[in-house]
Structure 1
Amino acid sequence: MAKEATLTVEGQIDEILPDGRFGVLLDNDHRVIVYTAGKMRRFRIRSVVGDRVHVEMTPYDLTKGRLVYRERTPGATPGRRPGAKR
Structure 2
Amino acid sequence: MAKEELIEMEGIVEEVLPDTRFRVKLNNGHEISAYASGKMKKHRIRVLAGDRVTVEMSPYDLSKGRVRFRHKEERPHVPASNNSSYNGRR
Q: Same fold (TM over 0.5)?
A: yes
Which deviates more from structure 2 when the two are superposed, residues 21-30 or residues 68-77? 68-77
Match of 1:74 in 2: 74
1:71: how far off? 0.2
Match of 2:17 in 1: 17
1:42: how far off? 0.6
- List aligned pairs for 1:45-60, cutoff 5 A: 45-60=45-60
User: % of aligned pairs identical?
Assistant: 45
Match of 1:80 in 2: none
CA distance in 2, matches of 1:18, 1:51: 17
Match of 2:31 in 1: 31
CA distance in 2, matches of 1:63, 1:42: 25
4+ long deviations beyond 6 Å: none
TM-score by length of 1: 0.83
TM-score by length of 2: 0.79
Higher Cα radius of gyration: 2
Number of aligned pairs? 75
CA distance in 2, matches of 1:53, 1:20: 14
The residue matched to 2:14 in structure 1 has which SS?
A: strand
Q: What root-mean-square deviation, in Å, do the aligned CA atoms of Structure 1 and Structure 2 show? A: 1.3
